[in-house]
Structure formats: structure tokens, C-alpha cells
Amino acid sequence: MSSAALHQHPHFFPNPLKWAARWIFTTNHKDIGTLYLWLAMIMFLVGGAMAMLIRAELFQPGARLIDPEFFNQMTTLHGLIMVFGVVMPAMTGLANWMVPLMIGAPDMALPRLNNWSFWILPAAFTLLISTLFMSGPAPDFGWTFYAPLSTTYGPPSTDFMIFAIHLMGLSSIMGSINIIATIINMRCPGMTWMKLPMFVWTWFVTAFLLLAVMPVLAGCVTMVLADRHFGTSFFNAAGGGDPVLFQHVFWFFGHPEVYILILPAFGVISEIIPTFSRKPLFGYVCMVYATVSIALLSFFVWAHHMFTTEMPVAGELFFMYVTMLVAVPTGVKVFNWVTTMFRGALTFETPMLFAIGFLVLFTIGGCSGVMLSLAPADFQYQDTYFVVAHFHYVLVPGSIFGIMAAVYYWLPKWTGHRYDERLGRWHFWLSLIFLNITFFPMHFLGLAGMPRRVPDYALQFADFNQIASLGAFGFGLAQLIFLWVIIKTIVSGKAAGNKPWEGGTTLEWDLPSPPPYHTWVHPPHLD
């Protein structure tokens, strides 16, 4: 088509009002899934820019590139944006796109509620980020906003943060109700519970977790608001309250939240590894029960974040043992993924590379988690950079790599185009290398005693901090490749065809996992 004909094409320059109305009022699950994913990408870049400021300040001791108060604001907003603005919307976007397709439903059960649950989020994050531009300081007490820092000493902008958290929670609750209703009521005939794809199972369990814990977070921030303005003393020791109560309430939400962030990624990996191994998922029933077990155990481990709060020894022992028990169903999953790959006809396209990267690095994060679960040792690790290293090794290779694997895996389905495999591999290897350069030295910093959330530090920590900062800058720049791959795929990618992943496998949106035996390619060396 010539350029003149292209400009006369009715879809080249769409009517702006119609275009805006299409996206604002849409009830199509694919459109809403796309909106969630683009919001997550925007927030990823915003939260990543905040991380760059944090690491620039920590590049050398005494740098003072940014004000210490602004540094604390960056640590607070970076954590809130990455958890509530990146991982949760991205996973919800994947659910919106794929769950109806995987269960044979025409749409989500409650399409208008689906639209509303998305559009609450841009308002919430606009409100949260606007605290940076208010006359007083933005919230500067860390993403966990412990009392009394957020009650007695919190700046006026804390109230806007609380309202934003309420909006995020409302969106999550509505989205969870929608997903549960869709999976229960709209499965195609013959799709029994034990024929659901693993991604659907993990999101079904995640939705119940969200319904259980988001009201707890809402109650927590409401009590903070009441202490700040209505004369209550929930967390004020001078009025008969208890600051430690805040930690109990917050972490009763906070630890299941960790599994809310990671379980959908487990589902993604359980779809990708069988596809590129040309084998059905090993131990499907065990994987389902392991998912449910992880969710149930997550409600009994919250106080392992609180070993240093003068907890009775019996309490420390209980939470220590239950925390270590969570490693059992997680280990079952890792074993089943590895066994799925064992003697399979493996190929290593970008989604599989991210899945393997997830598998190796998430396991490292799990091992440091077992170290932190030991109550006597935790007294040494508490509030050091060892904790930062641990949860970034869980959430970046876990949740973020899981999201990236899903995007590369399903991008041909979403767009009808193939992404540039060469660029995808560059993105993976640069992300993998720089991620380890960033976060692995933090283990050593923590073991040497460097506290987290500090804008300055002693000279003996300088070398590892410089290495970590260089890695962070590299990791951040590598994500620009990811953005370019997505845009290039949408605009000019080659046609994907019905089976974009070569090797005779059938894609997971056409096939439940585990697939029937006769539908997967039998590797020649198993004959």
C-alpha cells in the first residue's frame, strides 16, 4: 500500500474520541488485559527510575546526590509501586487475557466490574505519585509504613497514600471476585477441576488469597488514619495501644501478599516449561495440591518478620517451623518443573530462557529465605541488606521474570506477530547478568552488618555498593530493550501463524495442562 493510500485508510488516523471511548468503556477481557499490562509497564519504568536514584545515592559513601529525606521517599514509593503497581496489575492483566481463553469462556463473568476494577488503578497511582509534588514531604517511612512513623510522625501526604492503598485494595477485591466467578461458572463443558490449566489454578487460589487479605490491609491503613486524625490509640503506646500490633496486622496481610505476587508466576512457568520440553507437566495433581498448600500455609507464617519484637520463645519456634514447612510444597514444584524438562526435547527460545532463569534464581532466593526463617540467625540478618537481597531474589527473578516469560510466550497470541528472537535473548542475558551483579553482593553487605534504608554508610561497604549500583544501572537499561521488543512486535513483527513455537507442540491456549498423552511430541530418544 502506498503512503498516500495508507493515510486515506480509515484506521490509520482513527477518530480520537471514538478511540478513547473504545478503551475507556471497553468490557472486552482482552482489551482490559492489555490496559493492565501497559499500566504495569509504565509503573515499571517509574518504579525503576526511583530504584536508579536510590542506587545512584548509594554508589559511594557521602555522595549526597539527593537529599536524605528524598531518598527515604524514593524507598517508600519504589516498594509500593513495584508491588501494587507493577506485579499485581501485570498478573491481573495476564489473568484477564488468558483465563477466559484457557477455560473456553467468551469473556469474564462480570465485564463491567472488570472495566471498573482497572480504571480505579490509574487514579490510585496518580494519587500516590502526586504526594511527591505536595507542599510537605511525600511518605518517607518505607513501604511497610510502620507505626509510629506513619501515625505520630507521618507527613500530611500520608493520608493520600492511605486513600491510594484503599483504591488499590478495592480494585484487587473486585478483580478477584470476577476471576473466581469466571472460573467456577464459565468453564467449557467437560472441563473438570483437574483438567484446568495450571495458570488458571494458580490464579484461582491467588484470587481467594486476595479476598482474604486485602480487607486486612484496608483495616490496617484505616486504623492508621484513625490514629492520625480521630484520637484513637490503636498503635499509640501512650494511649494504651501497641506499635507491635501494627506489625501483626500488616504482616498478616504482607506474607500472603508475597504468594499473591508469586503464585501466578508459578502458573506461567508451569505452562511454558511443558511447551518447550515437548512433554506434559510432570505431577499435575501434586502441583495443584502444592499450590493450595502454599496458600494455606501463608496464613500461619506472618510473624517470621517479627522475631526481634520480644516474641515468646514458643512463638518463635512455631513460626520458624511453619516457615520452613512452606519450603516443602515449593520444593515439590521445583522438582516437578525439573522433572518435566528431564529427557524432554528441549528448545531454548526466550520464554524458556526466562523460565529457567526463574527456576534457578528463585531457588537461590528460597534458600536465603530458609536462612531468614531460623529465629536465632534472624537476629543477625534483621533489617540488613541480606533481607533486601533475599526478597529481590524472590520477586525479581520470580515475579518479574515470570511476567516477562509470559509476555514473550503469549505475545504471538496477543498481537498475531512474532517478536525479534535475537533481541529477546539479548534482553534475557543482560537482565540475568545485571540482576546477579546487583543483588548478589547485597548478601555480603548484609552479613557484614550494613543496615537497609540508609542513604549513607561506612567506608568498608563501598566496594560492594558500587558493584550493586553498576548492576542496577545495567539492569534498568536492559529493560528498555524489553519495551522496544514489544513495540517492534506490535508495529512490524512477522506474522506468527497458528503454531509460533516450532517443534510440533500445541500451544497452551489451545490445550489444557496436562495435555492428553497422544497430543504431545514424543522425543525420539525416548523411543
Please identify every residue annotated as catalytic: 78, 107, 143, 171-172, 255, 257, 259, 270, 304-305, 330, 333, 452
Per the omega criterion (within 30 degrees of 0), is the bond before 514 cis? yes
Query: Which residue bears the cell 533481541?
Result: 423
Among residues 288, 426, 284, which one has the least CA distance to residue 354?
426
Contact predicate 362/368, CB 8 Å: no
Radius of gyration, alpha carbons of the chain:
23
Q: Give the separation between CA 358 and CA 337, rounded to whole angstroms.
A: 11
Q: Which of helix, strand or coil describes residue 330?
A: helix
Q: Which of helix, strand or coil describes residue 300?
A: helix
Helix extents (H) in 342-417: 350-373, 375-381, 385-395, 401-415
Q: Which of helix, strand or coil describes residue 396?
A: helix
Cell of 455: 542513604
Query: Which residues neighbour 490 within 8 Å (Cβ) at sequence distance 6 or greater?
Result: 415, 417
CA distances from 80 to 51, 75, 522 (A): 12, 9, 46
Contact predicate 361/265, CB 8 Å: no
Query: Which residues neighbour 167 within 8 Å (Cβ) at sequence distance 6 or greater?
Result: 120, 121, 123, 124, 127
Q: Which of helix, strand or coil describes residue 73?
A: helix
Instruction: Count the alpha carbons within 13 Å of 282 in the hemisphere toward its beta carbon.
Output: 16
Q: Quick one: how far is CA 171 from the chain centroid?
A: 16
Query: Which residue bears the cell 498475531?
Result: 416
What are φ and ψ of residue 34, in 5° steps? -65, -45
